[in-house]
């Protein structure tokens, strides 16, 4: 009888705990869903980053001489700085996938040249126009090799086969045009291929026609002189960015910024740089226009070789070299650091190199020093999750200052193995007397802002290289 009463008391308690757990789990799921679907401006500021999808091509986002560039990239970077958040780029050249990713809440904004159509407005929020452009037909000029006559009248598009991106505004325009002229147009919808690649196929004779925005077409005319871009198939259209339905607060904030920014000299400078500059052709034909060559710098092979010494992704080592010397073997800093890896004279002496050493020797010495620092850190880090950040900071400012920052973190009840919000804070403030005069500090004053920014800069450059350059080597990070 006693056992039965005991069980009767326990069962409601178990049920209550079970229901509370279910409610907590349901609340967590709802919060996650809310984070993906509502996401107002305050959520993004709290998160500290704006997640954007853009396309990798010769106008919107690309790498040139080791540096990230592009019309959309520079505009989006200006927006993120205005919002005081970090820009997180996701490269997606397939429009249908980009739209799906936006609807799923995995990104906040699609930063591309998106024509604003009625169907799209029904599905998404759109910003004010960041630019305007017409749609034009891309075809090959008549020549001995190409006997297909040039199309100048839209009526002549009937029965023609035109290749365009699936989910692009070009599909909708061609469908409407087909009805307008009363003749069918064979619309070949292609997946996972970028507009500029289709333009290249027209130039090579692999396909006869595609459609592009006029400003993009004019840029590509510099690259493919045998293409014709004069036949317009639409009126001027607004080009804008897309956001999820319901993200009205963020849309309003972006619009407010766009109105002001488009009136600035900076906006005109960015637009001219990517659509009107006389340097466009030179940039495209450069050996270090990564989109076409796959190269970051002339030292790619040496960097790949030395990255194996430290078991790094070669693109990470390239990011470090880019930050240190911008791939200039003759670079020399005001404190005396020199070469591709910007070795200090005392460090260089340890590895038997000097200012007259070859670039490959400078690279090898820098890799050896990274390996040395890595082994030292292995002995002090209990949790190696943030080891790369500790290693990069140590390479920049010296291991001693990093160990000091760890001691300060530990003394103040923080995790000495955690970089962000712990050790980086004490390193950043190690130029202040109340920090560098603390009894646990052994290496004194440090201009902590430099290594603090150094780590962020290299990891940002590495993100760009990961977005745009294939790994093509078997390698792993420490």
| Domain residue limits, the chain | 1-37, 41-126+245-275, 135-234, 300-468
The DSSP code sequence of 49-85 is EEEEEE--BTTTBEEETTEEE-HHHHHHHHHHHHHTS
pTM more than 0.75:
yes
Q: How many CA atoms lie within 13 A of 396 on its CB side?
A: 26
Averaged pLDDT, 347-375? 97
What does the pLDDT look like over 357-369, one tens digit per residue?
999 999 999 999 9
φ, ψ for residue 237 (rounded to 5)? -120, 150
81, 172, 324, 346: which is the annotated catalytic residue? Answer: 324
Residues 330, 311: Cα–Cα separation, whole Å: 26
pLDDT at 146: 79
How many other β-carbons are positioned within 10 Å of the β-carbon of residue 408? Answer: 23
Locate tokens 């956001």: which residue? 243
| pLDDT more than 90, % of the chain | 84
Q: Tell me if 41-126+245-275 shares its fold with 300-468.
A: no
- Which CATH code for domain 300-468? 1.10.530.10
**Residue 152's closest CA among 143, 139, 163?**
139
**Residue 477's closest CA among 306, 308, 362, 305?**
308
Q: Is 324 one of the annotated active-site residues of the chain? A: yes
3-state secondary structure of 132: strand
pLDDT at 471: 85
What does the pLDDT look like over 82-134, one tens digit per residue?
999 999 999 999 999 999 999 999 999 999 999 999 999 999 999 999 999 99
pLDDT band at 8 (very low <50, low <70, confident <90, very high): low
- Which CATH code for domain 41-126+245-275? 3.40.190.10
pLDDT at 20: 55
pLDDT band at 39 (very low <50, low <70, confident <90, very high): low
Whether 28 has a pLDDT exceeding 90, the answer reads no
Averaged pLDDT score across all residues of the chain:
91
Residues 383, 417: Cα–Cα separation, whole Å: 6
Residues 357, 354: Cα–Cα separation, whole Å: 5
Locate tokens 């712990």: which residue? 422
Residues 6+ apart with CB under 8 A from 16: none
Residues 36, 265: Cα–Cα separation, whole Å: 36
Could you tell me if 49 and 88 are in contact, meaning their C-beta atoms sit under 8 angstroms apart?
yes
Averaged pLDDT, 345-370? 97
Averaged pLDDT, 394-416? 98
Averaged pLDDT, 374-395? 98
pLDDT at 137: 98
Whether 14 has a pLDDT exceeding 90, the answer reads no
| pLDDT more than 70, % of the chain | 91
Averaged pLDDT, 32-46? 67
**Residue 120's closest CA among 162, 75, 172?**
172
Q: Which CATH superfamily is domain 135-234 in?
A: Periplasmic binding protein-like II (3.40.190.10)
Whether 326 has a pLDDT exceeding 50, the answer reads yes
Separation of first and last alpha carbons in the chain: 63
């Amino acid at each position: 009888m006693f056992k039965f009463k005991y069980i009767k008391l326990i069962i409601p308690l178990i049920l209550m705990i079970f229901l509370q757990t279910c409610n907590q789990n349901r609340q967590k799921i709802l919060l996650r869903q809310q984070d993906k679907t509502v996401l107002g401006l305050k959520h993004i500021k709290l998160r500290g980053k704006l997640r954007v999808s853009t396309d990798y091509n010769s106008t919107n986002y690309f790498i040139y001489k080791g540096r990230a560039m592009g019309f959309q990239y520079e505009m989006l970077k200006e927006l993120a700085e205005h919002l005081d958040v970090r820009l997180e780029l996701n490269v997606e050249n397939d429009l249908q996938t980009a739209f799906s990713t936006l609807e799923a809440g995995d990104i906040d904004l699609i930063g591309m040249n998106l024509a604003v159509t009625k169907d799209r407005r029904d599905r998404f929020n759109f910003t004010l126009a960041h630019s305007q452009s017409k749609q034009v037909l891309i075809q090959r000029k008549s020549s001995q090799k190409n006997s297909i006559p040039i199309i100048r009248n839209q009526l002549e598009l009937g029965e023609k086969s035109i290749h365009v991106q699936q989910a692009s505004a070009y599909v909708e325009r061609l469908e409407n045009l087909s009805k307008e002229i009363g003749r069918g147009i064979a619309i070949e919808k292609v997946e996972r291929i970028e507009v500029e690649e289709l333009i290249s196929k027209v130039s090579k004779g692999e396909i006869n026609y595609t459609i592009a925005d006029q400003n993009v077409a004019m840029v590509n005319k510099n690259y493919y002189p045998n293409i014709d871009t004069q036949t317009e198939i639409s009126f001027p259209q607004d080009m804008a960015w897309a956001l999820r339905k319901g993200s009205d607060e963020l849309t309003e904030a972006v619009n407010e910024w766009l109105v002001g920014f488009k009136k600035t000299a900076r906006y005109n400078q960015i637009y001219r740089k990517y659509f009107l500059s006389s340097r466009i052709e030179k940039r495209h034909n450069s050996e270090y226009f990564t989109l076409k060559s796959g190269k970051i710098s002339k030292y790619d092979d040496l960097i790949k070789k030395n990255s194996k010494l430290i078991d790094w992704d070669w693109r990470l080592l390239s990011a470090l070299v880019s930050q240190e010397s911008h791939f200039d073997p003759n670079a020399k800093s005001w404190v005396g650091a020199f070469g591709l890896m910007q070795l200090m004279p005392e460090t260089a002496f340890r590895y038997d190199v000097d200012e007259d050493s070859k670039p490959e020797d400078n690279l090898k010495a820098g890799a050896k020093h990274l390996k040395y620092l890595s082994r030292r850190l292995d002995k002090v880090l209990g949790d190696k999750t943030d080891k790369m950040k500790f290693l990069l900071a140590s390479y920049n400012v010296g291991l001693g200052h990093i160990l000091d920052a760890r001691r300060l973190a530990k003394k103040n009840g923080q995790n000495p193995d955690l970089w962000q919000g712990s050790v980086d804070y004490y390193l950043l403030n190690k130029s202040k007397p109340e920090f560098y005069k603390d009894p646990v500090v052994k290496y004194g004053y440090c201009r902590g802002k430099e290594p603090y920014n150094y780590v962020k800069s290299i990891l940002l450059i590495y993100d760009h290289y990961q977005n745009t350059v294939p790994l093509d080597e078997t390698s792993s990070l420490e």
